[in-house]
Chains A and B, each alone.
Chain A
Amino acid sequence: MSKPLTREPTKEERLREVASTYLMPILSLAALVALWEAVTIFFKIPTWLLPSPSAIISEFVRWHPLLLSHTYYTFYETLLGFVFAIAVAVPISIAITYSKSLQNTIYPIVLVLQSVPKVAIAPIVLIWFGYGLIPKVIIAFLVAFFPIIVDTSTGMITVQSELLDLVRLVKATDVQIFLKIRLPHSLPYFFSSLKTAITLSVVGAVIAEFVGSDVGLGYLILSASPQLQTALAFACIFILAFMGIGLFAAVAIAEKLLIPWAFSE
Chain B
Amino acid sequence: MGLNVAVSVRNLTAEYHTRRGSKVTALENLSFDVYEGEFVSIIGPSGCGKSTLLKVVSGLLPATSGEVYIKGRKIVGPGRDVGMAFQSPNLLPWRTAVQNVLLPIEILGLDIKDYTEKTRDLLKLVGLEGFEDKDPRHLSGGMQQRVSLCRALIYDPSLLLLDEPFGALDAMTREEMNLELLRIWSVKKKTVLFVTHSIPESAFLSDRVLVLSRRPGTLIHVEEVSLHRPRSLKMMASQRFLDHTNVLREKIGAKVVTE
Contacts and interface: CB of A to CB of B under 8 A. Distances in A.
**Chains A and B are bound partners:** yes
A168 B93 contact: no
Please report whether the interface of chain A is mostly helix, strand, loop or mixed according to DSSP: helix
A162 B107 contact: no
B107 A176 contact: yes
Given A162-B88, A165-B84, A170 B93 contact: no
Interface stretch (B74-82, B113-121, B223-231, B238-246): B74-82
Nearest to A167: B107
Interface string B98-110: 0000011011100
Nearest to B151: A166
B55 to A, nearest CB: 7
B220 interface: no
Contacts of A184: 92, 94
Contact of B103 (A160, A167, A259, A265): A167
A111 B137 CA distance: 37
Contacts of B88: 160, 162
A165 B60 CA distance: 7
A167 B137 contact: no
Contacts of B107: 167, 170-172, 176, 180
Question: Interface size for chain A: under 10, 10 to 19, 20 to 34, or 35 or more residues?
Answer: 20 to 34
A165 B104 CA distance: 12
A265 B93 CA distance: 13
A90 interface: no
A265 B137 contact: yes
A169 B78 contact: yes
B93 to A, nearest CB: 5
A42 interface: no
A263 B137 CA distance: 9
Given A165-B78, A171-B79, 9 more contacts: A160-B88, A163-B92, A169-B83, A169-B104, A176-B106, A180-B107, A184-B92, A261-B94, A262-B93
B16 interface: no
Nearest to A168: B78
B90 A181 contact: no
17 contacts: A160-B90, A162-B86, A163-B90, A163-B92, A167-B104, A167-B107, A168-B60, A169-B78, A169-B80, A171-B79, A171-B107, A172-B107, A180-B103, A180-B107, A181-B92, A184-B92, A261-B135
Contacts of A170: 80, 104, 107-108, 155
Interface in A130-174: 160, 162-163, 165-172
A227 interface: no
Contacts of B58: 165, 169
Contacts of B93: 261-262
A165 B78 CA distance: 9
Contacts, number: 62
Interface of B: 55, 58, 60, 78-80, 82-84, 86, 88, 90, 92-94, 103-104, 106-108, 135, 137, 151-152, 155, 157
A171 B80 contact: yes
Nearest to A262: B93
Q: Which of B80, B82, B93 has the most CB of A within 10 A?
A: B93
Contacts of A264: 137
Contacts of A265: 137
Contacts of B92: 163, 180-181, 184-185
A160 to B, nearest CB: 5
B82 A169 contact: yes
B87 to A, nearest CB: 9
Contacts of B84: 165-166, 169
Nearest to B82: A169
Nearest to B80: A170
A262 B136 CA distance: 11
A256 to B, nearest CB: 14
Nearest to A188: B93
Interface in A212-249: none
A261 B103 CA distance: 17
Contacts of A262: 93
Contacts of A180: 92, 103, 106-107
